[in-house]
Structure 1
């Protein structure tokens, strides 16, 4: 990890989801652990597969009083079309404007490509960073490892 430290506070944010509703990380504090999955682009090959994998295993992710938040720099309207096309029924959050501000706060914004890198964070119920992993752009996430990290917080 670069600027964030394990056990330290996760930067709070409020972003709009695919329906235009505000979602704040701090709204889960004291209630749920949160898996934050930054993904580069809606409708791209690996991202589409990853988001479908989360959709297919959403019940496993939600078993532990957890929330899944997926964040990209795509506009809300693109995320809505992406969610509708692939039946994604969890929050897809738009870090479109100010462009990449939340991705930058989590040290995962790629200045050259204008998108977040494929990175994940698990935030505990107290709002602290419990785990992080950063994948190369062409590498999909290990969802089993994500679930194991969430389970460890229970």
Structure 2
């Protein structure tokens, strides 16, 4: 079951592309967090989506919000991809236990072994304020992310 707007976001601690641990609780009371689950590094749609976020990074990562990309790839794969594409935001590895964080958000396919395209905006209090779930071949419209972030800022 996918996490829905108004629910408490499941906590997690995952390693980023540099091997450092990142927890959702690191941002509690400080920043909202935009969680962007995607199937695999180096795949076409995933690269397009994250390059688009990279190219407009201030909309998704600033004093009010932090973007975190999450996939089942290893940290080494994520590091290579971040270096190749110039991603400066954290890419988190949900490799082991395989897909556990994606599963806790309801966007992991145990049959396929990867996360679907789930996006969640979690406010400073840990409550989900925006949620979307797209299939693996279904690219997301990032205007929805921008609108959700602006709405959250306006309600603060």
Q: TM-score, normalised by structure 2?
A: 0.94
Is the 8 Å Cα contact of residues 35 and 67 (structure 2) preserved in structure 1?
A: yes
2:109 maps to 1:140: no
User: Shift of the alpha carbon at 1:8?
Assistant: 1.6
The 1:145–1:5 alpha-carbon spacing in structure 2 relative to 1, beyond 3 Å, is: closer
What pairs with 1:22-61 in structure 2 (closer than 5 Å)? 22-61=21-60
Structure 2: which 5+ runs fail to align?
none
Larger mean CA deviation between 61-70 and 111-120 belongs to: 61-70
Paired residues, what number?
153
2:123 maps to 1:124: yes
Is the 8 Å Cα contact of residues 64 and 150 (structure 1) preserved in structure 2?
A: no
Structure 1: which 5+ runs fail to align?
none
2:64 maps to 1:95: no
Is the 8 Å Cα contact of residues 64 and 151 (structure 1) preserved in structure 2?
A: no
In 1, Cα distance between the equivalents of 2:63 and 2:143? 14
User: Shift of the alpha carbon at 1:140?
Assistant: 1.2
Q: TM-score, normalised by structure 1?
A: 0.96
Match in the other structure for 1:152:
151
SS in 2 for 1:119: strand
User: Shift of the alpha carbon at 1:4?
Assistant: 2.5
Moved over 3 A (4+): none
Is the 8 Å Cα contact of residues 38 and 70 (structure 1) preserved in structure 2?
A: yes
Give CA-to-partner distance per residue, 1:44-95, whole Å, 9 cap, x none.
0100111101100101222461000000000000000000010011000000
Cα RMSD of the aligned pairs, angstroms, is 1.1
